[in-house]
Structure 1
Amino acid sequence: MKMIVMRSSLRAVTAGLAALAVLTLAGCGGDATGGSGGDGDKVDVVASFYPLQFIAEQVGGDAVNVTTLTAPGVEPHDLELTPKQVGTITEAKLVLFEKGLQPAVDEAVEQNAKDAGFDVAPAAKLEATGAHFEDHDHEEEGGAGGPAAVLPGSAGNEDVDPHFWLDPVRYAGVVQAVTDKLVEVDGAHADGYKERAKKLLGEVTKLDGEFKSGLATCKLKTFVTSHEAFAYLAKRYGLQMVGIAGFTPDAEPTPQRIKEVQDIVRAEQVTTIFYEELVSPKVAESIARDLKVKTAVLSPIEGLSDANSEQTYLTLMRENLQELRKANSCA
């Protein structure tokens, strides 16, 4: 199984420039997205993107300073690190990341924070779901349709799906793993970490129950999204996800893929084409317009935007549940 490395040449240049600046930035502290830096005895924690930031903040509480590498409005798959961000990683006591999702972060941790880096992928129990990355350098290899012709759940696709946080059960596993790591790194505040983790795990378990009951009676079982972020969620709750694009949100779908999606929408009587906040909705809107169906937002919760910056993982997941219930005629 594999997770593809994207934009390697640009990332290599960025990493080289960042490395030159690390020594200058070391000891300066600061929030990699512009906030305040270290605070006394608090543990400096870096989270590579929002779902991990939320865990760190909820479990860490006032015992940690949390810095996120992916600012609101930035698509996490596209993240390239600044020298300041590399410096922040270098100085952190703990760096939470998912190996393979953001290659620039993988490289920065490998080069500057091996001891502090904590890859959550094993705790998430990632697997190949049939969803896939598009390889921009070889998109013609699959013939006229390219690789995007593979449907979620189909055989022959070994890309590991990184979107664990959209499955509350997998997310709970990562919450526990991060909690255990915080206790290991900062045993003096272990009781607080465990207490706050218990509360968060209770909320995530409740969320799982809401999805189970809320999606149990859907008349329609298929939903269409702008990219293949929701395979774990679909599998957990008995639905079928169809992605217009693969794991890469801004990838351009081929004409063949668009036709496949249109055929599925007609055959399965899909009522809604879902798009997301951080990527252009033009393709989703075009398909919906051609088929005279609705569009709506289904958030992959990869990062926040200006429009939902006051929301949380839990509130956004509940909004997703309501949108799925509405689109799939769930009683």
Structure 2
Amino acid sequence: MRIAPLLALVLVSTTGCAAFREDSATASGKVGVAAAFYPLAFVAQEVGGDHVAVTNLTQAGKEPHDLELDIKTTADVADAELVLVEHGFQPTVDDAVAQVATGDVLDVADVVDLEGDDPHFWQDPARMATLTEAVADELADLDPDHADTFRANADRLVGELRDLDGAYADGLRGCERDTIVVSHDAFGYLAKYGLQIEGIAGLSPEAEPTPADLARLQDLIRSDGITTVFSERLVSPRLTAQLAKDMGITTEVLDPIEGLSDETSQEDYLSLMRENLAALEQANGCPA
């Protein structure tokens, strides 16, 4: 479902209840934030705390690559005082922002140094720290009365992200292997820690590998002594399970943290990143 057929209805809906929304926003005293997908929502909530109302446009358990906006989520974009997006990652969100957003828009691509066409920047905690500081600046502009709180929250989160960055650098140093095979190319930013990432599928989890791709991965698994093929939670493990079965090796989960699921509903970005680190250390024979 594309945005254009919904636009007129959304505009009528948001105009008709504008007075109610204004009264509600005033009563709550919170900055309304619409975040395109989970890592952006996580940063907004951590920085904003009790002074923001964050809406994640991608429902829990859904793949953000596949997002199609309905009337409600399009209206969420229109209503938000701050919209957090990553241009090019979710075309329907880009369309909605261009057509209905009335608040401030922060595009990750404008503040974070992205690697080519790879949108999965949040696999690098240092880049998440850069986003954190940018979100704090945006919220401080929108709600100056709580600017000190936003910046204090951002400082705390930046400290945690820097600790996480250090943990990855230390934990993945001196390992027996440095190559990982993953379900799709969502982990390229981990290359900063010396990892070589080989995806069964491409940047989108829907991409299908060719027979030549699979043959190359099989040769790589044999030559590098790879023990584990990594699957993920929000997409089918069909390809990873079959490759691991064919090669007689194991499968484990490496979460791309594009969103939470029922299984990870009590987790957050930081805890999932640490679980991923433990899985990588185990698979690659890293020193304890």
Structure 1 residue aligned with 2:104: 116
Question: Which of 94, 103, 111 lines up with 2:82 in the alignment?
Answer: 94
- CA RMSD between the two structures: 1.4
For 1:305 and 1:69, how far apart are their aligned partners in 2?
Answer: 15
What are the superposed Cα offsets for residues 224-274 of structure 1, whole Å, 9 maximum, x if unpaired?
0000011111x2101100000111012221111111111111111111000
Residue identity over aligned pairs, in percent, reads 48
Q: In the alignment, is residue 41 of structure 1 matched against residue 29 of structure 2?
A: yes
The residue identity in structure 2 corresponding to 1:110 is A
The residue identity in structure 1 corresponding to 2:175 is C
How far does residue 181 in structure 1 lie from its aligned partner after superposition? Answer: 1.2
CA contact under 8 A between 1:50 and 1:70: conserved in structure 2? yes
CA contact under 8 A between 1:51 and 1:313: conserved in structure 2? yes
CA contact under 8 A between 1:120 and 1:177: conserved in structure 2? no
Q: In the alignment, is residue 205 of structure 1 matched against residue 193 of structure 2?
A: no
For 1:76 and 1:25, how far apart are their aligned partners in 2?
Answer: 25
Residue aligned with 1:310, SS: coil
Question: Which of 206, 211, 225 lines up with 1:255 in the alignment?
Answer: 211
For 1:25 and 1:71, how far apart are their aligned partners in 2?
Answer: 22
CA contact under 8 A between 2:81 and 2:102: conserved in structure 1? no
CA contact under 8 A between 2:11 and 2:100: conserved in structure 1? no
Q: In the alignment, is residue 85 of structure 1 matched against residue 73 of structure 2?
A: yes
Report the TM-score, using the length of structure 1 for normalisation: 0.82
Q: In the alignment, is residue 244 of structure 1 matched against residue 232 of structure 2?
A: no
Structure 1 residue aligned with 2:268: 312
For 1:169 and 1:272, how far apart are their aligned partners in 2?
Answer: 27
CA contact under 8 A between 1:17 and 1:83: conserved in structure 2? no
CA contact under 8 A between 1:125 and 1:170: conserved in structure 2? yes
Structure 1 unmatched runs, 5+: 1-10, 30-36, 129-159
What are the superposed Cα offsets for residues 45-71 of structure 1, whole Å, 9 maximum, x if unpaired?
000000000000000001110000001
For 1:167 and 1:114, how far apart are their aligned partners in 2?
Answer: 31
Residue aligned with 2:3, SS: helix
Residue aligned with 1:227, SS: coil
Residue correspondence of structure 1 range 19-168 to structure 2 within 5 A: 19-26=7-14, 28=17, 38=25, 40-113=28-101, 115-128=103-116, 160-168=117-125
CA contact under 8 A between 1:72 and 1:304: conserved in structure 2? yes
The residue identity in structure 1 corresponding to 2:39 is P
CA contact under 8 A between 1:25 and 1:84: conserved in structure 2? no
The residue identity in structure 2 corresponding to 1:197 is A
Q: In the alignment, is residue 223 of structure 1 matched against residue 180 of structure 2?
A: yes
Paired residues in the alignment total 280
Residue aligned with 1:300, SS: coil
What are the superposed Cα offsets for residues 119-173 of structure 1, whole Å, 9 maximum, x if unpaired?
0112220122xxxxxxxxxxxxxxxxxxxxxxxxxxxxxxx11110001111111
Residue aligned with 1:66, SS: strand
Report the TM-score, using the length of structure 2 for normalisation: 0.94
Structure with more helix by fraction: 2
The residue identity in structure 1 corresponding to 2:153 is R
CA contact under 8 A between 2:41 and 2:56: conserved in structure 1? yes
The residue identity in structure 2 corresponding to 1:302 is E
How far does residue 23 in structure 1 lie from its aligned partner after superposition? Answer: 2.5
For 1:201 and 1:56, how far apart are their aligned partners in 2?
Answer: 13
CA contact under 8 A between 2:34 and 2:80: conserved in structure 1? yes
How far does residue 21 in structure 1 lie from its aligned partner after superposition? Answer: 1.9
CA contact under 8 A between 2:33 and 2:55: conserved in structure 1? yes
The residue identity in structure 2 corresponding to 1:285 is A
